[in-house]
């Protein structure tokens, strides 16, 4: 697994993979699964249709009213929402699966919704990093305070704003994603961990870094401190490819 040292580089990697799916004369069909309030990617130069699905009605309304970049907005639960099979060239899901009980059902739906040869791009926290372990072991109110005090997000926890409760189903992990790929005919095109730190004040950044290092030492290396999050680029095999 390679490390990405900046958010900008991570965005470039994702954008390049999405653009590689584009063909002339036909707009790229993109599903943002758990679209939230904003779209962080820049896809200038390609023609695409962007569909966003989210269970948070407030966040979805903000996305439609403030950003206005969705061609179609669907309020619904990714475990049960009805979307066309083999419809999308790209499915993009950024820090969503860890918040869903029954996340494997969501991945099963991705398998149905993506076209053969299409991409599923997933960003998740690594539950076996120091950061992921602390997130799993601490209550939701602590996460809200962390966002408000250390990260400086005063609206954290209010309707339409993260953080959301976390569950970390077994599939939301390095082993879980790879097992799912083997079972359902996906190829792991790329796997990355982030090596950058979240924004925060100087003392907070130093404290977070120290906690990560100490946590990794105390776990005898079982928990990683060098990365917190994972990025997967998955390709659905076509009928002509072996599973």
Q: Which residue, chain included where needed, has tokens 């990260």? A: 151
pLDDT at site 178? 96
Q: Which segments of 20-159 does DSSP mark as H helices, in order?
A: 57-62, 103-113, 130-137, 140-145
Question: For the chain, which residues make up each domain, given as ranges?
Answer: 2-125+162-197+227-236
pLDDT in tens, 18-74: 999 998 789 999 999 999 998 889 999 999 999 999 999 999 999 999 999 999 999
| pLDDT(217) > 70 | no
CB atoms under 10 Å from CB of 63, counted, come to 23
Q: For residue 243, what pLDDT band results from cuts at 50, 70 and 90?
A: very low
- Please check whether the domain covering 2-125+162-197+227-236 is classified as CATH 3.40.50.150: yes
The side-by-side arrangement of strands in the sheet containing 2-4 is 2-4, 186-194, 229-236, 114-125, 88-94, 28-33, 48-54, 72-75
Per the CB < 8 A criterion, the answer to whether 226 and 126 are in contact is no
Q: For residue 136, what pLDDT band results from cuts at 50, 70 and 90?
A: confident
Per the CB < 8 A criterion, the answer to whether 186 and 235 are in contact is yes
Interatomic CA distance for residues 85 and 113, integer angstroms: 4
pLDDT at site 220? 53
The model carries a pTM of 0.88
Nearest to 77, CA basis, from 98, 107, 108, 100: 100
Q: Which residue, chain included where needed, has tokens 């979240």? A: 198
Q: How many residues does the chain have?
A: 243
DSSP SS3 for 143: helix
Cα-to-chain-centroid distance, residue 41:
13
Q: Which residue, chain included where needed, has tokens 């407030």? A: 58
At 153, list the tokens: 């997000």
């Amino acid at each position: 697994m390679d490390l990405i040292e900046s958010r900008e580089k991570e965005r470039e990697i994702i954008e390049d993979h999405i653009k590689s799916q584009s063909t002339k004369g036909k707009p790229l069909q993109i599903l943002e699964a758990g679209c939230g309030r904003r779209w962080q990617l820049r896809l200038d130069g390609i023609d695409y249709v962007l569909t966003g699905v989210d269970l948070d009605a407030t966040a979805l309304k903000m996305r439609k009213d403030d950003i206005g970049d969705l061609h179609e907005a669907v309020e619904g639960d990714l475990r049960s929402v009805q979307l066309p099979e083999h419809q999308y060239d790209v499915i993009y899901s950024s820090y969503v699966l860890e918040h869903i009980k029954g996340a494997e059902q969501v991945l099963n739906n991705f398998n149905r919704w993506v076209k053969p040869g299409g991409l599923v791009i997933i960003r998740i926290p690594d539950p076996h990093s120091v950061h992921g372990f602390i997130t799993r072991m601490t209550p939701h109110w602590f996460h809200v305070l962390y966002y408000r005090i250390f990260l400086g997000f005063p609206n954290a926890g209010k309707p339409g704003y993260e953080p959301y409760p976390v569950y970390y189903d077994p599939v939301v992990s390095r082993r879980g994603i790879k097992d799912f790929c083997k079972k359902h005919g996906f190829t792991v095109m790329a796997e990355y961990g982030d090596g950058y730190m979240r924004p925060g004040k100087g003392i907070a950044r130093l404290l977070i870094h120290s906690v990560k290092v100490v946590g990794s030492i105390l776990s005898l290396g079982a928990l990683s401190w060098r990365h917190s999050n994972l990025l997967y680029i998955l390709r659905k095999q076509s009928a002509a490819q072996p599973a």
